[in-house]
Amino acid sequence: MTIRTVPLTPFEGQRPGTSGLRQKVAVFRQEGYIEAFVQSLFEALPEATGEGIAGKTLLIGGDGRFFNDEAIQTILKLAAANGLGRMLVGRGGILSTPAASAIIRARGCLGGIILSASHNPGGPGGDFGIKYNTGNGGPAPERVTEAVYRRTRSIARYRTLDAPPLPLDREGDTALAGMAVSVIDPVADYAALLERVFDFDRLRDLFRGGFRLRFDAMNAVTGPYARDIFERRLGAPAGTVVNGTPKPDFGGLHPDPNPAHARALVAALAGSDAPDLGAASDGDGDRNMIVGRGLVVSPSDSLAILAANAGLVPWFRRGLAGVARSMPTSRALDRVAAELGIPCFETPTGWKYFGNLLDAGRVALCGEESAGTGSDHLREKDGLWAVLFWLSIMAASRAAVADILGAHWRRYGRNFYARHDYEGLDRERATVLVDRLRGGLSALPGKSFEGLAVESADDFAYTDPVDGSVTAAQGCCIHLAGGSRIVYRLSGTGTEGATLRVYLEHYEPDPARHLLPAESVLAPLAAAAGEIAEIAALTGRSRPSVIA
Ligand code: G1P
Ligand code: ZN
């Protein structure tokens, strides 16, 4: 097979965001688009990591969404033409994000390419994405993603070869030019790792005793993983996993595990014959949703509850060295850390910022308000891990989700929390809003909005305690009297216009107020947030598009 060098003109905007390069499928399908990005990746890696790619092993797979197969075939040819030694491919092109992280680590790969737009809609009119994970199994740090982006701006040709598509539906070894291609089981390494993290015997007992779980894979990638782990390894009854076959268009579902998109799950948990626990994951399996009878656990609370109960999980037998959360995530976690006497780090939004802390052993558990939690068992957030953790807590306490939550609040107080998203805003207007807000921060302390006094205001900047790298302008943070907080930032994962995220948090120590509806508790904060940033005037929107 002869290697061809194909000239190309650089594409605008191939800059990886919060989690890789994400665009509409139509953008990705442009002639040479994937090639330009992946060729740039291959050329940037040696420069950014000091390690060549020749003869090395990379992992590839994705969440099964539309264009997954085609992208994999294209990338395999590029990899062969660029001198990679071996490509490991998840069978059927399938790999969840956490499983990819586990496999990269278990098999000592140079890194991995994960094809996913996470919880964004799929299908021909939907989104596609590509992200690179390094040899530690975690998302490439900014040093790498920026080097790739710089390459994409000057890339003038790519290397490929002509070859028919490789069959990827059965495990085994083939070759492409001089490069080995191994199709591997996408589940085995990952499930084996989770068996080491949790006490599977105890969880088997739980199901043997009649415990009922409903796990909704939303026709996305976690179906095969969930069936293997819950139904096969743990003996949960068949049918525990619903929507368990990955489909290119997610069967019309939107695999974003929140009350709006996982409505059927929430309804199933509200019925008279509701299961004990409901759970869901997103497109690529790194997010989670935890649903009890008649209630949805907020991700920030879930993170704090996991930290408080780490002692129930064999992996954490020696305790937690520290914990971390992204800046907008509620500070419920901080309260648990304070009681445990361990550090709690505050990082910018995006899993990549946890990588150094996890690698250095400074944190063992971390998470984000956006339904992502994980630990040092791998270097991504992990949806099924969170579900197994909740099962472990329920196996030990035999209590209902609502009781676990209530007990947690009574002990630590409740951090009422909500995120208001203003989606599809005009990019320029959104930038004006954030620039004005940023410019006015220093004048806010001392002023009051809706009766709430501003104590301090800052533009969040993070100095990585491990490598000293600085990441600035990560969100405007307004601290109000009484420990309330408003945070504003623009999304880095959207593909249409701009999304303004406004995060509201109010701490309530009084148990008599813990069952008040979050919406009413947070109403004054929401009003203050609108006033401070002049949201209505600057965006033309009187209310958020989504409240999470
Ligand atoms: C969103 C979430 C963030 C998460 C990311 C990838 O990013 O807010 O916590 O890490 O998706 O799943 P954003 O769109 O806010 O930049
Ligand atoms: Zn995801």
Residue 18 pLDDT level (bands cut at 50, 70, 90): confident
> Which amino acid appears at position 204 of this protein?
R
H helix or E strand, kind and range, residue 486? strand 484-490
Eight-state DSSP code of residue 376? T
Greatest Cα-to-Cα distance within the chain, rounded to the nearest angstrom: 74
Render pLDDT for 207-224 as a digit per residue (tens, 0 to 9): 999 999 999 999 999 999
Contacts of 445 (CB under 8 A, 6+ apart): 454, 455, 456, 457
Q: Residue-wise over 229-245: b if at least 16 C-beta within 10 A, else e?
A: bbbebbebeeebbbbbe
> Any residues with Cβ below 6 Å from ligand 1, and which?
18-19, 118, 326, 349-351, 368, 370, 372, 491-493, 501
Spacing, Cα 365 to ligand 2 middle (Å):
18
Contacts of 58 (CB under 8 A, 6+ apart): 79, 84, 86, 87, 88, 109, 110, 111, 112, 113
Q: Which residues are catalytic?
A: 118
Q: How far apart are CA 321 and CA 86, in angstroms?
A: 36
Q: How far apart are CA 100 and CA 132, in angstroms?
A: 11
Distances in Å between the Cα of 434 and the Cα atoms of 447, 458, 532 are 19, 13, 11
Nearest protein CA to atom 8 of ligand 1, as residue: 370
Spacing, Cα 131 to ligand 2 middle (Å):
11
Nearest protein CA to atom 15 of ligand 1, as residue: 491
- Pocket-testing residue among 19, 63, 96, 353, ligand 1, by greatest number of atoms within 8 A of Cβ: 19
Percent over 90 (pLDDT), the chain: 96
Q: How far apart are CA 443 and CA 457, in angstroms?
A: 9
Residues recorded for the chain: 548
Nearest ligand to the CA atom of 97? 2
Nearest protein CA to atom 11 of ligand 1, as residue: 493
- State the closest ligand 1 atom to the C-alpha of 492, by its place in the atom list counted from 1: 16
Nearest ligand to the CA atom of 286? 2
Nearest protein CA to atom 4 of ligand 1, as residue: 350
Nearest protein CA to atom 10 of ligand 1, as residue: 350
User: Tokens 């599977």 correspond to what residue?
Assistant: 200
Residue 365 pLDDT level (bands cut at 50, 70, 90): very high
Spacing, Cα 480 to ligand 1 middle (Å):
25
Q: How far apart are CA 476 and CA 443, in angstroms?
A: 13
Residue 271 pLDDT level (bands cut at 50, 70, 90): confident
450: left (phi over 0), alpha (psi -120 to 50) or beta: left
Residue 178 tokens, joined: 């001089």
Spacing, Cα 372 to ligand 2 middle (Å):
8
At 417 the three-state DSSP class reads strand
Contacts 24+ apart (CB under 8 A), 483-486: 483/507, 484/452, 484/525, 485/331, 486/525, 486/528, 486/529, 486/532
Render pLDDT for 43-101 as a digit per residue (tens, 0 to 9): 999 999 999 999 999 999 999 999 999 999 999 999 999 999 999 999 999 999 999 99
Spacing, Cα 285 to ligand 2 middle (Å):
6
Render pLDDT for 185-194 as a digit per residue (tens, 0 to 9): 999 999 999 9
> What is the pLDDT, as a whole number, of residue 254?
92
- State the closest ligand 1 atom to the C-alpha of 287, by its place in the atom list counted from 1: 12
User: Across the chain, how many H-helices and E-strands are there?
Assistant: 17, 27
Percent over 70 (pLDDT), the chain: 100
- Pocket-testing residue among 18, 281, 300, ligand 1, by greatest number of atoms within 8 A of Cβ: 18
Eight-state DSSP code of residue 119? T
Render pLDDT for 459-511 as a digit per residue (tens, 0 to 9): 999 999 999 999 999 999 999 998 899 999 999 887 789 999 999 999 999 99
Q: How far apart are CA 410 and CA 407, in angstroms?
A: 5
Spacing, Cα 109 to ligand 1 middle (Å):
26
Nearest ligand to the CA atom of 284? 2
